[in-house]
Amino acid sequence: MAKKISAPAKTAIKKTAEKKPAAKSGLKVLIDYPRAQEVVRPGHYSIRLTASGASQMQLRVDGREWLECRESLSHYWHDWAPQPGRSIIKARARAGKGRWSAVTEREVVVKPEEAVFVG
């Protein structure tokens, strides 16, 4: 015969289950390129991101919408058309359909090449 569980015991069991902390992804998100302090030229730049164990990565530039990155050669990539000035790149990753990891960011300086006159 099955043992009956009292109503207070059922409530305690339910509350304990509800308080279980969410699992952390444990992913470490890296912005490989552009490197810290690197000066980027306007035009085209391939941003490279890494997060071992990630199934998806996204980035955003200057607080705009999150953009999907493509996976290739054990890294994630996004083609960027930088404009002169300063930009903030943020990246995030997740494993499976889990939560997004903590965001990492990098400030990037985009500066045109200075003209060199020979004469």
User: What is the per-residue pLDDT for 91?
Assistant: 96
Token pair belonging to 35:
């490197």
User: What is the per-residue pLDDT for 16?
Assistant: 43
Using pLDDT thresholds of 50, 70 and 90, give the confidence band for residue 119. low
φ, ψ for residue 64, nearest 5 deg: -75, -170
For residues 98 and 10, the model is more confident at 98
| CATH (domain of 73) | 2.60.40.10
Residue 38 amino acid letter: E
Any domain includes 53: yes
Please count the structural domains in the chain: 1
Report pLDDT digits (tens) over 66-94.
Answer: 999 999 989 999 999 999 999 999 999 99
Any domain includes 36: yes
Any domain includes 119: no
Report pLDDT digits (tens) over 8-22.
Answer: 655 554 444 443 333
Any domain includes 94: yes
Any domain includes 73: yes
Any domain includes 12: no
Range of the domain at 40: 25-110
